[in-house]
Amino acid sequence: MLEVLKPGLETSVQDYPGRIGFWNQGFPPSGPMDSWSFRLANVLVGNQPGDAGLECQYMGPTLKFNRNTVIALTGADMAAKLDGKPVPLWQSVAVSAGQVLEMGPARAGTRCYIAIAGGIATDPWLGSRSTFHQAGVGGMNGSALKAGHIVPVAAGTGMAGRTVKQSARPPIRTDKRWDIEVCAGPNDDWIDEEGQLRFLSADWKLSSKSNRTGFRLDGPQWTFAPKATNKPPEHGSLPSNIIDHGYPLGAINLAGQTPIILVNDGPSMGGFINPYTVPSAAFWKLGQSKPGEIYNFKQISVSEAQAMARAMKATCSESSII
């Protein structure tokens, strides 16, 4: 068990790949935004890569451990200290009963992951422990951690002193610019050629009006192909309106002129086009970026995106541990 002394800005229980199989009722998967860092944290402490752990956003929590265990921190650097002594990232660390882990604001990156040997053992909801904040389900009674929460942890036998090799860690950028892979589609043919070139060459700034449902981007205006304006009225009258349809996770959803990347807690359906989709293996970059930072999109093929996901899965394994 661990006790929440300070909750941090928004610290939540998540597992990977999250709540799968309920998209047709409108339930998003939730789960960690940077699943690369998340899975490696679990591997470090001897858990399955998808076991439940904590996602800390922007400002980490202060936690007290009620028994001896092994933990690992990955992802963003939140200057974690255990009883005042710095805790290294990307390494499994022994913790004694009564010790306090104190974390601060994110320095490099945005989201830090905490895995605990055995994994967090809150009650699963529809097959997953992931927190879906907006609907109040999963995790600790459907919410982010609050001061005073006692978070249950399953029994586990982790080993301290294990490290993720440098080449297996996500290269978190600190220059406020991110190159993000996208695949064309499903609705890239609604954008004219100039609009497509503009999307792929422009600087897109991540808006502060972003959260785990969607990442809003500020950038140039979009221009459209004729099919966006010559269409039956039930599509709606804006060029980016389409008859409501299912949204892929990662879709770059064009709400009027505002592109919104639909992330882990995003909507499953709606009436806007999705000209591009961020593939699963590029999600970690979204998770580690901050509002105000710049995205540049780089188009890759579906098979390249699938190869990236395979490579990442292989990386999130024992082979990356030294």
Partner 1 sequence: MIYDEPRYMPGGDRYMLIEFGNEMNLELNFLAQGLASAIVANHVKGVVETAPCFASMLIHYEPEEISYDDLKREMGRLIATLGPSDNIELPSRLFYFPTAYLDPWTKAAIDDYTAKINPEKEYDAAFVARLNGLSGPEQLVRVHSGTEYWVASLGFWPGLPFMMALDPRCVITAPKYNPPRTWTPQGTVGMGGASTAIYPVATPGGYQIFARIPVPIWDPKRRSSAFEDSICLFRPGDRVKFVPVSVAEFEDVERQVADGSYEYNVVGYQKFSVAQYKSWVAGLDRTKRF
What region, left, alpha or beta, does residue 258 occupy, with left being phi > 0 and alpha being psi -120 to 50 degrees? beta
CA angle at residue 77 from 53 to 250, to 5 degrees? Answer: 60
Q: Does 298 bind partner 1 (CB under 8 A)?
A: no
**Three-class HEC string of 29-72:** CCCCCCHHHHHHHHHHCCCCCCCCEEEEECECCEEEECCCEEEE
Kindly tell me which residue out of 1, 5, 6, 22 binds partner 1, with binding defined by CB under 8 A. 22
Q: Does 271 bind partner 1 (CB under 8 A)?
A: yes
- 170 to 189: interface string for partner 1, x by CB under 8 A: -------------xxxxx--
| Closest to partner 1 by CB, 37 or 277 | 277
Asked if 201 and 299 count as a contact pair (C-beta separation under 8 A), the reply is no
Part in contact with partner 1 (CB under 8 A); list of ranges 44-52, 153-161, 197-205, 248-256: 248-256
Q: How far is the CB of 208 from partner 1 (least distance, A)?
A: 12
**Residue numbers 124-153 binding partner 1 by CB under 8 A:** 125, 134-137, 142
Q: How far is the CB of 221 from partner 1 (least distance, A)?
A: 12
Q: How far is the CB of 26 from partner 1 (least distance, A)?
A: 4
C-alpha gyration radius of the chain = 20
Part in contact with partner 1 (CB under 8 A); list of ranges 23-31, 42-50, 71-79, 150-158: 23-31
Part in contact with partner 1 (CB under 8 A); list of ranges 87-95, 165-173, 196-204, 262-270: 262-270
What DSSP designation does 228 have?
Answer: G
Q: Does 244 bind partner 1 (CB under 8 A)?
A: yes
φ, ψ (nearest 5 deg) of residue 191:
-105, 135
Q: Does 233 bind partner 1 (CB under 8 A)?
A: yes
| Closest to partner 1 by CB, 86 or 232 | 232
Locate the DSSP E strands across the chain: 2-6, 10-14, 53-57, 62-65, 69-75, 81-82, 85-86, 91-95, 100-102, 111-116, 150-151, 177-184, 204-206, 214-218, 241-246, 251-255, 258-262, 269-272, 276-277, 294-299
Which residues contribute to the site for partner 1 (CB under 8 A)?
Answer: 20-27, 125, 134-137, 142, 183-187, 209, 213, 231-238, 241-251, 255-258, 267-272, 274, 277-281, 302-303, 305-306, 308-310
